[in-house]
């Protein structure tokens, strides 16, 4: 088999995968009868926000499982890291499934459900579209940072949102809120059906994080859901091999076992900048940080 | 006209069914063919082949996803044309895609049937998250450029490159585990 044959063999992959990747994403058959939409709509009209932590079970398990693999969803439920915060307007209902923080990174998973035809059509037609998420301090109204984020349309017509947020230079002890809106571009609908949706933002760490340092004094942080550094761009170079070294000396390459869900760094992802800057990679399942004694990144050892 | 209505026309052997396919999906199919063939005339020829093959195959076949079904014929036909006409000179898109795919081959000397490889690919795609799978299929099935994917995902090109790199590494490992390797 050579690379051309592999590319040719791709022609015969399952048609459902080809259809799935066809965009704009089309909702084949909605599972939402209009009657249900109307009843939610009526409820939503009176609702601004509902109380958080409705239960210890995710309202949209499929959203969480889309981003976090293995037992992660179950682990979050057992650790009572289920948020289930709901807010809605007449067009959409937003459910924040979970907000995770290790003190360096904040990670949010949410589900946007259309409540009316306009929102339903927009989500279905655009598939992936950019949102603007602004984190604002409650007391002063000061904007902390700007986050742009795109989610994507799932088969059932919901818009799934995953967002990671760098917490450097942010006072995580201050109460805050996150505001959602559609990013304005030529495809934007006349009405921003998300505008005005806000959620309370608790950035207090709820996941464990441990610092590892090299002989040169550089520090990287390993938490249950990410590996990050705010001083060295050593993580996002795809050619670098990264190993987590267990207490018994066993080396686990994060490429293979952690199925990285995404990488990011200031100045461009997948790059190897020589200037100090933040970089991080997120895992797509939760890990136990205490299992590891050291980290090796491109031959450099970082110890606890 | 809905896909079901088009298929019904073909089942009744009405040529209008082909016209409706052309009206509904002709442009997209031609774009797909052109992406790999990079020649207007070849893309047109490929498209005509697609219509003919669809006419011959439906019935008895009744595709669940009409566009995916037609696109599959289109891609297969385009690759056959490439093998026939462009053996010596492949276009830039193919050169780029094959170079990336090279990283997924555990053992180029091993012989495996197309069916085996396709089965492995389907199994692999089933292990990916929906978003990763869509990116992989857009890149290596539809032949989208990195820039197009970055625009579609509203992120930097580097992020797309990195995600695809990781997926290719996973595919290499997966193929090795499935025995599509000499090891």
Query: Tell me, what CATH number does B59's domain have?
Result: 1.10.1740.10
Does residue A109 lie within any of the structural domains? yes
**Tens digits of per-residue pLDDT, A58-114?**
989 988 988 887 788 998 998 889 998 888 888 899 999 999 999 888 889 999 999
Task: Quote the number of domains for chain B.
Answer: 2
Does residue B70 lie within any of the structural domains? yes
**Tens digits of per-residue pLDDT, A236-295?**
666 677 889 998 889 888 764 444 444 444 333 333 434 445 677 777 778 889 889 999
Out of A184, A201, A218, a domain closes at: A201
Q: Nearest CA of chain A to the CA of B26: how many Å?
A: 15
CB of A152 less than 8 A from some CB of B: yes
Same domain, A19 and A112: yes
Does residue A4 lie within any of the structural domains? no
Nearest to A64 by CA among A103, A108, A105: A108
- The distance between the two most distant Cα atoms of chain B, rounded to a whole number of Å, is 53
For helices B157-177 and B92-102, the axis angle rounded to 10 degrees is 50
Same domain, A61 and A141: yes
Look at B65 and A236 and tell me if their CB atoms are within 8 Å: no
Inter-chain contacts counted by CB atoms under 8 A, chains A and B: 156
Average pLDDT of the residues of chain B: 84
Q: Given this model, what pLDDT does residue B102 score?
A: 73
Q: Which of A95-99, A167-171, B170-174 has the highest mean pLDDT?
A: A95-99
Does residue A2 lie within any of the structural domains? no
Nearest to B100 by CA among B167, B36, B149: B167
Q: Taking a C-beta distance cutoff of 8 angstroms, is the pair B141, A21 a contact? A: yes
91-150 of B, contacting A, C-beta below 8 A = 94, 97-99, 101-102, 104-105, 107-108, 110-112, 114, 117-118, 121-122, 125, 129-131, 133-134, 137-138, 140-142
Same domain, A161 and A265: no
**Tens digits of per-residue pLDDT, B81-92?**
888 776 556 677
Q: Which two tokens mark B56?
A: 């011959």
Q: Given this model, what pLDDT does residue A286 score?
A: 83
Same domain, A27 and A157: yes
Domain of residue A104: give its range: 12-201
Out of B85, B117, B135, a domain closes at: B85
Q: Which of B101, B154, B166 sits opposite A130 (nearest CB)?
A: B154
Q: Nearest CA of chain B to the CA of A197: how many Å?
A: 21
CA distance A162 to A100: 11
Out of B85, B111, B129, a domain closes at: B85
Look at A14 and B122 and tell me if their CB atoms are within 8 Å: yes
Between the alpha carbon of residue A4 and those of residues B37, B79, B101, B169, the distances in Å are 15, 10, 8, 17
Look at B105 and A6 and tell me if their CB atoms are within 8 Å: yes
Asked if residue B108 has pLDDT above 90, the reply is: no
Q: Which of A17, A130, A260 sits opposite B125 (nearest CB)?
A: A17
Same domain, B133 and B170: yes
Out of A180, A201, A222, a domain closes at: A201
Task: Quote the number of domains for chain A.
Answer: 2
Query: Tell me, what CATH number does A115's domain have?
Result: 2.60.40.10
Query: For the residues A177-190, what does the mean pLDDT come to?
Result: 80
Does residue A103 lie within any of the structural domains? yes
Query: For the residues B114-134, what does the mean pLDDT come to?
Result: 85
CA distance B107 to A243: 25
Residue of chain B whose alpha carbon sits nearest to that of A236: B162
Partnered with residue A210 across adjacent β-strands are A222
Query: Tell me, what CATH number does B136's domain have?
Result: 1.10.10.10
Does residue B183 lie within any of the structural domains? no
Look at A255 and B131 and tell me if their CB atoms are within 8 Å: no
Q: Which of B108, B141, B180 sits opposite A2 (nearest CB)?
A: B108
Q: Which of A7, A21, A284 sits opposite B97 (nearest CB)?
A: A7
Cβ neighbours of residue A149 under 8 Å, at least 6 residues apart? A130, A131, A132, A133, A161, A162, A163
Does residue A22 lie within any of the structural domains? yes
Look at A261 and B129 and tell me if their CB atoms are within 8 Å: yes
Look at B129 and A14 and tell me if their CB atoms are within 8 Å: no
CA distance A103 to A115: 35
Same domain, A170 and A225: no
Query: Tell me, what CATH number does A286's domain have?
Result: 2.60.40
Q: Given this model, what pLDDT does residue B11 score?
A: 92
Cβ neighbours of residue A295 under 8 Å, at least 6 residues apart? A212, A220, A222, A227, A242, A243, A244, A245, A301, A302
Nearest to A6 by CA among B72, B170, B121: B121
Out of B85, B107, B129, a domain closes at: B85
Same domain, B44 and B67: yes
Confidence of residue B37 (pLDDT cuts 50, 70, 90): confident
Same domain, B76 and B10: yes
Between the alpha carbon of residue B39 and those of residues B43, B45, B52, B76, B145, the distances in Å are 6, 10, 20, 16, 18
Same domain, A132 and A166: yes
Out of A201, A236, A268, a domain closes at: A201
Same domain, B63 and B114: no
30-59 of A, contacting B, C-beta below 8 A = none
Q: Which two tokens mark B38?
A: 């990079």
Domain of residue B155: give its range: 94-177
pTM for this prediction: 0.62
Q: What is the CA radius of gyration of chain B?
A: 18
Residues of chain A with C-beta less than 8 angstroms from the C-beta of B159? 262-264, 269-270
Q: Helix, strand, or coil here: B53? A: helix
Q: Given this model, what pLDDT does residue A23 score?
A: 61
Does residue B62 lie within any of the structural domains? yes
253-272 of A, contacting B, C-beta below 8 A = 255-256, 259-264, 268-271
């Amino acid at each position: 088999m050579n690379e051309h044959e592999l590319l040719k063999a791709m022609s015969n992959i399952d048609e459902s995968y080809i259809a799935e990747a066809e965009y704009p994403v089309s909702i084949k058959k909605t599972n939402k009868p209009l009657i249900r939409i109307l009843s939610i709509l009526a409820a939503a009209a009176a609702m601004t926000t509902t109380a958080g932590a409705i239960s210890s079970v995710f309202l949209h398990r499929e959203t969480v499982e889309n981003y976090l693999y293995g037992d992660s969803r179950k682990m979050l439920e057992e650790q009572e890291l289920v948020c289930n915060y709901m807010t809605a307007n007449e067009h959409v209902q937003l459910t924040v499934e979970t907000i995770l923080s290790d003190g360096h990174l904040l990670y949010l998973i949410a589900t946007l459900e259309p409540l009316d035809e306009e929102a339903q059509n927009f989500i279905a037609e655009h598939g992936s579209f950019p949102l603007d998420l602004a984190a604002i301090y409650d007391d002063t109204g000061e904007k902390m940072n700007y986050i742009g984020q795109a989610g994507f349309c799932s088969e059932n017509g919901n818009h799934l949102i995953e967002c990671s947020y760098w917490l450097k230079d942010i006072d995580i002890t201050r109460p805050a809120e996150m505001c959602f809106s559609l990013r304005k571009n030529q495809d934007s609908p006349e009405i921003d059906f998300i505008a005005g949706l806000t959620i309370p933002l608790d950035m207090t760490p709820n996941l464990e994080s441990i610092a590892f340092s090299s002989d040169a004094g550089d520090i990287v942080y390993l938490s249950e859901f990410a590996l990050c550094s705010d001083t060295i761009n050593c993580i996002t170079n795809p050619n670098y091999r990264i190993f987590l070294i267990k207490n018994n000396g066993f080396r686990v390459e994060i490429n293979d076992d952690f199925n990285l869900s995404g990488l990011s760094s200031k100045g461009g992802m997948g790059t190897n900048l020589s200037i100090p800057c933040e970089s991080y990679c997120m895992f797509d399942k939760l890990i136990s940080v205490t299992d590891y004694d050291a980290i090796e990144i491109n031959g450099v050892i970082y110890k606890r | 006209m809905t896909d079901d209505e088009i298929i019904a026309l073909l089942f009744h052997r009405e040529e209008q069914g082909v016209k409706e396919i052309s009206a509904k999906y002709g442009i997209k199919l031609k774009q797909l063919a052109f992406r790999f063939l990079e020649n207007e005339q070849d893309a047109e020829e490929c498209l005509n082949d697609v219509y003919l093959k669809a006419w011959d195959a439906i019935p008895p076949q009744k595709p669940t996803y009409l566009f995916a079904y037609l696109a599959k014929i289109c891609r297969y036909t385009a690759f056959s044309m490439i093998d026939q006409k462009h053996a010596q000179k492949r276009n830039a898109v193919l050169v780029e895609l094959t170079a990336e795919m090279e990283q997924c081959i555990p053992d180029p000397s091993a012989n495996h049937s197309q069916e085996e490889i396709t089965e492995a690919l389907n199994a692999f795609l089933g292990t990916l998250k929906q978003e990763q799978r869509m990116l992989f299929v857009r890149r290596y099935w539809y032949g989208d450029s990195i820039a197009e994917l970055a625009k579609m995902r509203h992120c930097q090109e580097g992020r797309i490159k990195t995600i695809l790199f990781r997926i290719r590494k996973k595919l290499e490992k997966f193929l090795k585990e499935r025995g599509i390797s000499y090891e």
